[in-house]
Amino acid sequence: MFDLTNAVENWRRELSQSEAIAAADLNEMETHLREEIEGLAGRGLTEEEAFVIAARRLGSAGDLTCEFAKVNGAFIWQRRLFWMLAGVMLFMVAHAVAGVAAKALSLASTYIGLRGERVGLLESFISTAVLIITFYGVYRILGLNRKTHAATGPIKRSASTAALLITAAVIVFVCTAATRFVPLIQLRFLGPEEVGRMALGAAYGWALWAVIAPFALATILILMSRTKRCKVA
């Protein structure tokens, strides 16, 4: 059975994926859509028929994106700048979490018999793994949050964004403070010579990562760049 409310929500959710369409534009289009549906229903069409015709008259998601991109250029770049800065914040969070996790696990590894370069090498691998896992976890959370709140108003979304950014800042602060204290503990209980050997092992691990990372990042960006583009007339 056709559900008009659900159909409109899905239509709105699809359009909200476009960076060119602002919340105000989406609200205005939804108003036009509902008015068009009401007018068509008044002529004897079913709700499903009225919705299909009204949505078709407004245009497809691709066509609307191209049209709004022409008039919302400043808005698009503002949103892109926001996500660039959000990416920097995400890196800070991931780096901080990875750092404190690697330091804590490397400290714990000394109690199971690992020493010197092997501890440093393990620390670099753990840090890299936690960094990747944190990035993926946040990506999944943002993706689910985007799907769940695509139809919500701008005020609720702004509050949610502010809460996420404040939480991220707190995580960065706590983890950064923790990573500054762990080396002091290692130096106190293991001695400067052992800590130096650990640093050498970590340097080997990071050197290996520096070789692999550019190719891994390039592969990820290539896969992410496979998006549909507007057709040029």
pLDDT, tens only, 78-113: 777 777 777 777 777 777 777 777 777 777 776 777
Cα separation, 94 vs 134, in Å, equals 5
Is the distance from CB of 204 to CB of 124 less than 8 angstroms?
yes
Is the distance from CB of 123 to CB of 205 less than 8 angstroms?
yes
Mean pLDDT of the chain: 76
Cα separation, 120 vs 109, in Å, equals 10
% of the chain exceeding 70 in pLDDT: 82
Q: Is the pLDDT of residue 166 over 50?
A: yes
pLDDT, tens only, 111-128: 777 666 777 777 777 777
Question: Measuring CA to CA, how many Å separate 142 from each of 65, 77, 150, 160?
Answer: 22, 20, 11, 11
**53 or 178, which is more confident?**
53
Task: Report pLDDT for 35.
Answer: 92
Q: State the residue for tokens 């990875």.
A: 98
Torsions phi, psi of 4, nearest 5? -65, -45
Is the distance from CB of 127 to CB of 98 less than 8 angstroms?
yes
Q: State the residue for tokens 């769940």.
A: 148
DSSP H stretches of helix in 110-230:
117-148, 154-190, 192-224
Task: Report pLDDT for 37.
Answer: 92
Q: So where are the chain's domains?
A: 4-71, 73-224
Distance from chain centroid for Cα 155? 20
Task: Report pLDDT for 90.
Answer: 75
Task: Report pLDDT for 139.
Answer: 66
Task: Report pLDDT for 36.
Answer: 92
- Residue 131, Cβ density class (10 Å: 0-12 exposed, 13-18 middle, ≥19 buried): buried
Please give the helix or strand (H or E) that residue 24 lies within, else none.
helix 23-41
Q: How confident is the model at residue 194 (pLDDT cuts 50, 70, 90)?
A: confident
pLDDT, tens only, 6-64: 999 999 888 888 878 878 888 899 999 999 999 999 998 999 999 999 999 988 888 88
Dihedral, 3, 5, 6, 7 alpha carbons, nearest 10: 80
